[in-house]
Chains A and B, each alone.
Chain A
């Protein structure tokens, strides 16, 4: 029975000691310790959150880069295609222009040649007629040097006239 009878002295000292311990520990131990633990947990959580954020940011940036790259590639292709078209255009234009120019030149040349030919022909005709007159004059002078042959010719000519 003595074992289960609380003695007043021990009750008294335990109460005082426990209350003192509670107050001292609360002030000098639990408050700083719990605050420090809380703070550290908070900072760890923050760091993890930040890492997560950085990861998503990173993924976002990567996808953005890819998009940019794709866009750039598409743009390059477009520019190349345009340049090619432009080049073809220019070449074609140049070709047609050259063709036209050539055709014009040829036409001009032809006309010139024609003109030259005509001029040459007319000159030739003139020369031929003067030459033949000359020749004819000389032949006639040669044949009509004696009277007999002149008579003959006149008679022949008269004969021809009679025949007509």
Chain B
């Protein structure tokens, strides 16, 4: 556990350095971007709305005239999307599922938007603005009030990538389980021998020392969390389809995972745990303060888990992307070897971080569970 803290500290320091580095470039590119959009809007001179201006910019990009904007590119890669970009101008359209108070549930392909250039006419008129589904009013403009009421349950890129990861996990572990059934009492072989040490690592180094003798009940949850995060992290590092999505670097996913951790911890909390929160062992006049602090602690622990995983994975993606962006910012191939060398280094580091974050998330979950089920203090 001590070791992991050291690693995390070093990684965080690196991330800070690179974030500063990135901030410097994004400032410069922002300046470029502003002048650029001015030029574009002046050139096209048809721009009534900003949406049209962006559309025009999209056309300009198609003709290879657009100035490179690293921040936009990076943010697009990191954010979720209704299309899965494969290569060049080819994207995989994904199903859009929207719920609107007046239209109910509607399902259609995101291909209808044509990268945001066309509207889709369902019950409402939908438009894709900055990868958000908006409702278009009768006047042809985005109806902000109606758009706020849209609930977007689309199978986005992150959802699809998560499904891929889940499929991988299921295939791997169900086949490993079959191998265990087939080779009872024999030494592990093949994939089994790769997976077994990790499972034993989770059991002996994460669950047992932190939870104690009641660890067996929580093993399925810990193992699932560990491999879910790890496989998603690794798939996120693969730049081509079906990898490349920033699944574990999305706050929604980390929010759900930490929410589950919070639920598991608090459902299994015994009377010592709750006594520690509501009747802490302090003078009675400190109780109002302590109870508030402890209740905040219930939420802040999973909150820290959520932020840690999100920030680490997103930072990794940002660093790799910004290093690649260097080539396009300087518009020279000469920088490419430097860039590639750094990216290689970062990728190897990210491989470590991918494991480390899965490990830390699982470890802290086990620690919190251990604190909740501990018999006496």
Taking Cβ atoms with an 8 Å cutoff, the residues of A that contact B are 2-15, 17-18, 20-22, 24-26, 28-34, 36-37, 39-40, 43
Q: How far is the CA of A45 from the CA of B308 in the complex (A)?
A: 40
Taking Cβ atoms with an 8 Å cutoff, the residues of B that contact A are 75, 78-80, 97, 151-156, 158-159, 162-163, 166, 169-170, 173-174, 176-177, 180-181, 184-185, 195-196, 199-200, 203, 216, 219-221, 223-224, 228, 250-253, 255-257, 259-260, 310, 314
State which of B78, B97, B159, B170 has its C-beta within 8 Å of the C-beta of A21.
Answer: B170
A33-B177, A33-B195 known; 13 new pairs, CB 8 Å cut-off, are A6-B255, A8-B152, A9-B151, A9-B152, A10-B159, A13-B162, A14-B252, A14-B256, A29-B174, A34-B203, A34-B216, A37-B199, A39-B184
The answer to whether B203 touches A22 (Cβ under 8 A) is: no
Q: How far is the CA of A34 from the CA of B199 in the complex (A)?
A: 8
Q: How far is the CA of A138 from the CA of B252 in the complex (A)?
A: 180
8 contacts between A and B (CB under 8 A): A14-B256, A18-B256, A18-B257, A21-B169, A21-B224, A28-B177, A34-B203, A36-B181
State which of A5, A8, A36 has its C-beta within 8 Å of the C-beta of B153.
Answer: A8
The answer to whether B169 touches A17 (Cβ under 8 A) is: no
The answer to whether A25 touches B170 (Cβ under 8 A) is: yes
Min CB–CB distance B322 → chain A (angstroms): 15
CB closest chain-B residue, reference A32: B177
The answer to whether A14 touches B253 (Cβ under 8 A) is: yes
The answer to whether B156 touches A3 (Cβ under 8 A) is: no
The answer to whether B185 touches A40 (Cβ under 8 A) is: yes
Q: Which A residues lie within 8 Å of B203 (CB)?
A: 34, 37
State which of A10, A29, A32 has its C-beta within 8 Å of the C-beta of B156.
Answer: A10
Q: Which A residues lie within 8 Å of B163 (CB)?
A: 17
Q: A34 and B152 in contact (CB under 8 A), knowing A5-B251, A7-B80, A10-B252?
A: no
The answer to whether B252 touches A7 (Cβ under 8 A) is: yes
The answer to whether B173 touches A25 (Cβ under 8 A) is: yes
CB closest chain-A residue, reference B98: A9
CB closest chain-B residue, reference A14: B256
Q: Which B residues lie within 8 Å of A11 (CB)?
A: 252, 255-256
Q: A36 and B220 in contact (CB under 8 A), knowing A8-B151, A8-B153?
A: no
CB closest chain-A residue, reference B174: A28
Q: Which A residues lie within 8 Å of B224 (CB)?
A: 18, 21-22, 25-26, 30
